[in-house]
Amino acid sequence: MAEVNDLVALTTRLQRTRGYHLAPGFDEAPHIDPWRVAQADFLLPVLVRLAEQVWREDNPGANFGIHIEEDALALTGFRLLGVHHVPAAIVMLAMDEVLRRVADPGGVVRWEQLQAYAQSRS
């Protein structure tokens, strides 16, 4: 089981240590702080869901046991409450693969690229 606070901390660390930067696509904010990206009401639900899909490529039928609830105030309309079937390390390995696929060679993840990748996976 992976607690949300642990996932926030680990996702923040993953972005910083691997050099990933989310670029929203407008000049006023060249990059969004990794801590903000990793919040349960920001992009963490999306990143965890995409990570689960990557994990399923090599492990058909497996799932993370993601617990998400609707939240009108969240960026995506959803808030991550927990991951129940796998340890945080598995989530991070799969999330690293998602970010590696979407990032440019400099580690920049453009909002449009992440959105397009997510839509292609649904």
Domain that holds residue 97: 4-121
Domain count, the chain: 1
> For the chain, what is the largest distance between any 2 Cα atoms, rounded to a whole number of angstroms?
43
For the entire predicted model, the pTM comes to 0.93
Q: How far is CA 93 from the centre of its chain?
A: 11
Residues of the chain with pLDDT under 50: none
45-76 per-position pLDDT tens digit:
999 999 999 999 989 999 999 999 999 999 99
Please give the share of the chain, as a percent, with pLDDT higher than 70.
97
Query: Three-state SS for 49?
Result: helix
What does the pLDDT read at residue 122? 74
- Pairwise CA distance, residues 80 & 72, whole Å: 13
